Chains A and B, each alone.
Chain A
Amino acid sequence: MNIFQENYQKPDLNYSLNYGFLFPWQFPQNNGQDNCCLEVKAEEGAYSFYLNRTILEKIAQLKLQGISLDIPRGLLLNFWYYSIFDSLVNRDENYDKSANIYQHPQLSVLIYFFLVKTWKTLTSRNRNKTIKFQSGFTFNSYYQSTENQHFDNLNIMMQSTILFDGDIIQKISQDLINNGDASSIVNSHYWLIEQVTKCLRSNLNSVYWFVSAIFPAAVITWKISSGMSLWLSILISTLGWIIIFLVLGILSLLIISQLKKLVVRIKNKSVDKFIEPVISWLVWVGTNLVISINVFSRDSVLLIANSLFMLLLPNLLKYFLPKAGKYLFKFFMK
């Protein structure tokens, strides 16, 4: 065997979690303009932007107007997950081969995926599989100069590696220097990274939502393993709550996205910041009223009480869930 092959001998491994996701990043629409959508590929700690001329123009415009973007929720989720975990250290021999890429995953799929992944990490019995944390992020920009170029054949034009200890490496390819759009590609590349990192921090409170969704699983096993039967009932109710919560959440997300599309079609412009929370709230009320009426239709007092409770619940949850997430966290660290 030639030891100088760019390959390494693996120790004992039988574990593969090599996944990637492709997210569509919708840019706000202007009147009479085509839909503009950027594809972002997210893998463990590595993010790739697939640029083309339309996107470059759009970004230049947005930059000029000083508009910042909301990044897709799925991407944000991915970002949070991988700013903390780097997956397992020991890897599959196929590591460098292309990952399984899931196109345009639903948020619920991602939540499920990360839950399973965290679960596997926590319950892994193999001592060799140590958990490691992320050491940095890599951002790649690909550029499609002509429309008939396939994504797979593109070369990376620019790569930024941001290591957490303060080392930043910007690589630019010779192709970029020879490209006529070089300057716009550079601008877009930096602008997109900025949008992503900005969102990471400004949505900090929602991280606790995410964390609090992940950690009940650990709490449950913890309590089961300590063999208390009292916890069994709590376990069942917690599980029930999680399932109900997820189902309701996914249902409302689905309805919200449909409603948004409808509003866009009617008003012919993007949903503004004011209408969005109104829609989410209305949907929440709608779904819950249906449930309340079905469950409590015989008792009018309970029906009204429950409906009122449901109306207030989103605000209560908004207040309490981040706190609950925090306490769960503290609980672990003691």
Chain B
Amino acid sequence: MLAKDSNSLESQPNQGTAGRAKDLLGKFVDTVGVIVRDITSLEVNTIVVSNISGSKFNPWQSYYNIYAISQPNYFASKNIVSELEDRYINIFLQLEREYIYTLLIKELESPSPKARVVQEYRSRLQYIDENRLNSDSTKASQIVLPSPFDQESQVENYQKIAELVTDDKFVLTLRKVSEMKAALDGGDVASENVDTIYAQTIIQLDGDIITRYHRDLFGLKESDKDLIMKVHNDGVVSGEKQWREVIDFLINFIKGIAS
């Protein structure tokens, strides 16, 4: 996907309206294809937050804000308590992991994949699994995501980011982690008492349904607990239905054109 995008950018520097229209439709079909192919499960998260942000998702801005987590002094400047640091770091690393997967796939699909490069990605992934950020000077500890803060290679990095924010799979991950970050930000970051994912249901394509509740849920007032449970259970039923309607629409739309 990434490789394809960069090719189309390079090979059609002055594409006309028709080219763009054609490109647009082709990409739309690709997008739906990517989304549908990669679905293995449906995941519903119910989060209680003190303040819901109404701002719309902007890939550039989200990328910038999530990358900022990796910068030194981030936690100090935002007065984030140390108990929360891990959760912020985890958000950043989820994005980094997605990026490495894209790179890995790109490398493996290239005409001559290099074992050394693949190994590098693998060790970085292992490093990420330990949920650590920049703690030593080994190669595996270095961040792979292009930095928007780097003054020296700014142009080059911005080009890379521009490519990333048009990659559908990456954008989906970016959107999800920025929702999670917004939920963290929406609470009082200076206290331990944060907004929690109270309930999570995963419906797997093979029919398994797993629901997890946060321990804190059972410490709440009875009425509050019931309400959150209701929101979650209704949310699973209706969310699944809504999502299916939207996907059905997209698929039927393409099917309609093709038939």
Which A residues contact B (CB, under 8 angstroms)? 2-4, 6-11, 43-46, 48, 83-84, 89-91, 95-96, 121-125, 127-128, 130-133, 135-138, 140, 155-174, 176-177, 182-183, 186-187, 190, 193-194, 197-198, 200-201, 204, 207-208, 215, 218, 221-222, 225, 322, 326, 329-330, 332-333
B58 is contacted by which of A96, A177, A332 (Cβ under 8 Å)?
A96
Contact A122 B257 (CB under 8 A): no
How far is A207 from B249 in the complex, measured between Cα atoms in Å? 10
User: Chain A residues near B71 (CB, 8 Å)?
Assistant: 3-4
Contact A200 B246 (CB under 8 A): yes
A160 is contacted by which of B77, B162, B235 (Cβ under 8 Å)?
B235
Given known contacts A83-B250, A84-B28, A177-B48, A138 and B168 CB-to-CB distance under 8 angstroms: no
Given known contacts A9-B64, A156-B54, A173-B51, A164 and B246 CB-to-CB distance under 8 angstroms: yes
Contact B257 A326 (CB under 8 A): yes
Closest B residue to A177 by beta carbon equals B224
How far is A91 from B74 in the complex, measured between Cα atoms in Å? 25
User: Chain B residues near A221 (CB, 8 Å)?
Assistant: 16-18
Given known contacts A131-B24, A131-B27, A333-B25, A218 and B245 CB-to-CB distance under 8 angstroms: no
Contact A333 B41 (CB under 8 A): no
Could you pull out 19 A-B pairs where Cβ atoms are within 8 angstroms?
A7-B64, A8-B65, A89-B162, A90-B162, A127-B9, A131-B24, A133-B27, A140-B52, A155-B52, A160-B235, A162-B243, A162-B246, A164-B246, A166-B41, A169-B176, A170-B239, A177-B48, A221-B16, A221-B17
B252 is contacted by which of A130, A159, A204, A330 (Cβ under 8 Å)?
A204
Q: For chain B residues 41-96, which have a beta carbon within 8 Å of chain A?
A: 41-61, 63-65, 68, 71, 73-74, 77-78
Contact B44 A170 (CB under 8 A): yes
Given known contacts A171-B49, A171-B52, A135 and B168 CB-to-CB distance under 8 angstroms: yes
B56 is contacted by which of A138, A173, A193 (Cβ under 8 Å)?
A138
Contact A6 B65 (CB under 8 A): yes
Contact B28 A44 (CB under 8 A): no
User: Chain B residues near A158 (CB, 8 Å)?
Assistant: 52, 231
Q: Which A-B residue pairs are the 10 nearest by beta carbons? A: A8-B64, A222-B18, A197-B245, A168-B239, A156-B52, A190-B238, A170-B235, A166-B42, A218-B21, A329-B257
Given known contacts A132-B165, A133-B168, A171-B52, A95 and B58 CB-to-CB distance under 8 angstroms: yes
Contacting chain A: which of B31-39, B125-133, B208-216? B31-39
How far is A125 from B42 in the complex, measured between Cα atoms in Å? 39
**B189 sits at the interface (CB 8 A):** no
Main secondary structure of the interface of B (DSSP, over half): helix
User: Chain A residues near B21 (CB, 8 Å)?
Assistant: 122, 215, 218, 222, 332
User: Chain A residues near B5 (CB, 8 Å)?
Assistant: 130
How far is A132 from B14 in the complex, measured between Cα atoms in Å? 19
Contact B176 A201 (CB under 8 A): no
How far is A160 from B234 in the complex, measured between Cα atoms in Å? 12
How far is A124 from B17 in the complex, measured between Cα atoms in Å? 8
A163 is contacted by which of B54, B68, B176 (Cβ under 8 Å)?
B176
User: Chain B residues near A124 (CB, 8 Å)?
Assistant: 20
**A251 smallest CB distance to B (angstroms):** 29
**B249 smallest CB distance to A (angstroms):** 4
**B124 sits at the interface (CB 8 A):** no
**A310 smallest CB distance to B (angstroms):** 28
How far is A162 from B240 in the complex, measured between Cα atoms in Å? 9
Contact B17 A123 (CB under 8 A): yes
User: Chain B residues near A90 (CB, 8 Å)?
Assistant: 60, 162
B51 is contacted by which of A9, A136, A155 (Cβ under 8 Å)?
A155
How far is A138 from B68 in the complex, measured between Cα atoms in Å? 25
How far is A322 from B252 in the complex, measured between Cα atoms in Å? 13
Contact B52 A159 (CB under 8 A): yes
User: Chain B residues near A173 (CB, 8 Å)?
Assistant: 48-52
Given known contacts A162-B246, A330-B257, A135 and B52 CB-to-CB distance under 8 angstroms: no
Instruction: Identify 9 new A-B residue pairs, CB closer than 8 A, beyond the known A137-B246, A174-B48, A200-B246.
Output: A45-B56, A89-B60, A131-B20, A135-B172, A138-B56, A168-B240, A170-B44, A171-B52, A204-B249
Closest A residue to B63 by beta carbon equals A8
Closest A residue to B21 by beta carbon equals A218
User: Chain A residues near B13 (CB, 8 Å)?
Assistant: 127
Contact B235 A89 (CB under 8 A): no
User: Chain B residues near A43 (CB, 8 Å)?
Assistant: 56
**B232 sits at the interface (CB 8 A):** yes
Residue of B25, B240, B247 with most partner-chain A CB within 10 A: B25
How far is A159 from B51 in the complex, measured between Cα atoms in Å? 11
Contact A164 B61 (CB under 8 A): no
Contact A133 B231 (CB under 8 A): no
**B230 sits at the interface (CB 8 A):** yes
